[in-house]
Structure 1
Amino acid sequence: MQILLKKYTLALKHTFSISRESHDYQDTMIVGLSLNGQTGYGEATSNPYYKITVESMMGEIETVREKIESFDFTLPEVFHQFLTEQGLSNFTICALDLAAHDLYGKLLGKPLYDIWGTGINHYPTSNYTIGIADIPTMVRKMEEKPWPIYKIKLGTENDVEIVRELRKHTDAIFRIDANCAWTAEETIANAPLLKELAVEFLEQPLKASDWDGMKKVSEHCVLPVIADESCILESDVEACGPYFDGINIKLTKCGGLTPALRMIKKGKAMGLKVMVGCMTESSVGISAIAQLAPQLDFVDMDGAMLLKEDIANGIRINEDASLEFPKLGGSGITLK
């Protein structure tokens, strides 16, 4: 196989703020794996919370480039095991694993959902994320993008008031993501008020390490709670089971589609709701997430929709929130 690496700096339509950071640009690494006239593409974004940069990921790949290019590629799962043995970070493994899956499907001439035996007649609607801002700005973002489901980022001193004001402007479903900014007491107190405002669920209200707090929340919160920062690796699914109603899997954090498929299966077996979320990827990463959509209860795949300009073609999210799956094999990705 031949490896292609490229860094992009993706400009966002609006400043994107969550409880711990704000940014106007997102750095991302695109990986291409070429074999037998086909090229598969994968992606992983930089992330200061997890101390990941594009340069660090590219540096990791360069240290094992020769091994990867001489690898006898057959199945993505075998390739993923090989990558894990090289001691690479999960973000780097994700980009390579996504590229391997896209390549594998293109070599077979089949989309991944077909290879996995899942149809595309039914899939959840992606939410559209509204980052933290002043209320008029948040309202303006909703008016600019009318959508059936909004994920509202919170973690301010007036979170419930924000939701109360936003509710005056739309009948859409609301999902709340506090990104670890609340305490157990705040979560339990906020939940009844947010439930009255037609909030569907809360995502990761507490710090990932606050298991005592999550025990209180699991016993007293009137809204379902979905794990995000508490559910990174495959082993975290079982740990989250007693405390959460569902899990939000991020491909970059767990290491790609290969472990994500196992996490989906494990979560369902435990009776958890299963969601896959994005990290403001381009359509390279989003198209990989889309292949999983028929297996999910919830999906957050609006990353490319938040960009001023996309760098790839793949899954298309229409204005009515329906999906147009690409006809190419794999994840169906082509770079612009």
Structure 2
Amino acid sequence: MKATYKKYILDFKIPSGTSRGVLTRKETWFLILTDGNRHGIGECGILRSLSADDVPHYEEKLKWVCENIHLEQKSLRNALMEFPSIQFGVEQAFLSLNSKNPFELFPSDFTQKEAPIPINGLIWMGDEAFMLSQLEHKLKEGFKCIKMKIGAIDFETELSILKAIRTNFTPNEIELRVDANGAFSSSDALKKLEQLSTFELHSIEQPIKSKQWDAMAELCQNTPLPIALDEELIGIFSVTEKERLLQTIKPQYIILKPSLVGGYGGCEEWIQIAEKYNIGWWITSALESNIGLNAIAQWTYTLNSTMPQGLGTGSLYTNNFDSPLDVSNGELRYLKAQNWQENLIEELCI
């Protein structure tokens, strides 16, 4: 068996804003396994300035994986503990190599019968007109769950947008989630949560920056609306530390991004601990290409969650790969498209 890797730059169709800045390009890496006529492909989806494995020797670690691909998968996983995106790429690549179809990693009703996964529609930050335009588009597309990035523009403007939504749609008609990406200060976060709670939101993601466990714990204890931890989970590698974090903060939800927390294995550890403490969870992609998104979506379906998941990012790029994934009426489906598999194998593996 031979292992190689390739770097790929994804270009956003339109600049996408968060409280951490505006995204125009996204770097990703593909791990490719070849064994005779069989190929396996896994995406190592790193997010610069956010991923725990955003380190200067990232490519060196990919080279090491290729040189040591003969090791048992468990040994590789342990050696990659501090490289969660590569852990996920290795998981995908081996599943892909050992599957009848290299892009059908988890056969299920999702891949075989077009059973849907409910997802949220994502609204990026920008000026009021831009955000309202996105909202109108998502509603026309049939989304019943909207996630809005907040924290970068004027807070009163963000409140006015939420008010406009709630004036026209009840919580039963549209579920609203907001994501602050750590934009609030610990001193004013509770006041802002109280203002946001008047709009009957489902939850807010990461209201304050990570690594403020005591402040976040106090916020979760006193919050008028549910809090979901996101960035807080990044860089927490051991099961003991994961449990300590959830015991300390006691959030209402956690959000799991396989590329950021160590793939399927890392997510499953978090889920097991969260359920022990009656903490809810859902799965979100981390701006991967359609290859990584496909791998996340198939696995997510097997978890049997009825909550809308964060898997609607496949249409963000001008140069994404062909895929069987299709979004309609606020749901993600796996369609039986033709030729996309052969084209993709040829593009990446040959």
Shift of 1:121: 5.5
- CA root-mean-square deviation: 3.1
Query: 2-side partners of 1:253 and 1:286: how far apart?
Result: 13
Does the Cα contact within 8 Å between 2:10 and 2:26 map onto a contact in 1? yes
Q: Tell me the equivalent position of 2:34.
A: 34
Alpha carbons 1:44, 1:91 under 8 Å: kept: yes
Inter-CA distance 272–104: structure 2 relative to 1 (3 Å threshold): farther
Q: 1-side partners of 2:252 and 2:114: how far apart?
A: 25
Paired residues, what number?
A: 321
Measured after TM superposition, the shift of residue 42 of structure 1 is 1.5
**1:321 and 2:330 equivalent?**
yes
1:221 to 220, 223, 226: 223
Q: Which residue of 2 aligns with 1:79?
A: 73
Percent same amino acid among aligned pairs? 20
TM-score normalised to structure 1 length: 0.83
- With over 3 angstroms needed to count, the CA separation of the structure-2 counterparts of 1:305 and 1:54, relative to structure 1, is farther
Provide the C-alpha distance between the structure 1 equivalents of 2:300 and 2:80, rounded to a whole number of angstroms: 30
1:75 is aligned to none
For residues 107 and 264 of structure 1, what CA distance do their matches in structure 2 show? 28
Mapped pair 1:154 → 2:150: yes
Residues in 2 aligned to 1:168 and 1:158: alpha-carbon distance in whole angstroms: 16
Cα distance in 2, alignment partners of residues 56 and 321 from structure 1: 40
1:106 corresponds to which letter in structure 2?
K
TM-fit CA distance, 1:201:
0.1
Report deviation, 1:195.
2.5
Per-residue deviation at 1:109?
10
- Please say if residues 290 and 320 of structure 2, whose CA atoms lie closer than 8 Å, have aligned partners that are also in contact: yes
Equivalent residue, structure 2, for 1:306: 316
Give the aligned partner of residue 24 of structure 1. 24
Letter in 2 for 1:91: S
Residue 220 to residue 87, structure 1, CA distance change in 2 (3 Å): closer
Query: Does the CA-based 8 Å contact 1:29-1:43 persist in structure 2?
Result: yes
| Corresponding residue of 1:48 | 48
- Where 1:91 maps in the other structure, the secondary structure is helix
- Secondary structure at the aligned position of 1:247 is classed as strand
Partner of 2:63: 62
1:6 maps to 6
Q: What is the TM-score with the length of structure 2 in the denominator?
A: 0.80
- Consecutive unaligned residues of structure 1, counting only runs of 5 or more, are 72-77
Query: Which stretches in structure 2 are left out of the alignment for 5+ residues?
Result: none
1:221-300 paired onto structure 2 within 5 Å: 221-232=223-234, 233=236, 235=239, 236-238=241-243, 239-241=245-247, 242-294=249-301, 295=303, 296=305, 297-300=307-310
Question: How far has the Cα of 1:247 moved from its partner?
Answer: 0.9
User: Counterpart of 1:12 in structure 2: which amino acid?
Assistant: F
Indicate conservation of the 8 Å contact 1:282/1:312, yes or no.
no
- Mapped contact 1:225–1:245 kept (Cα < 8 A): yes
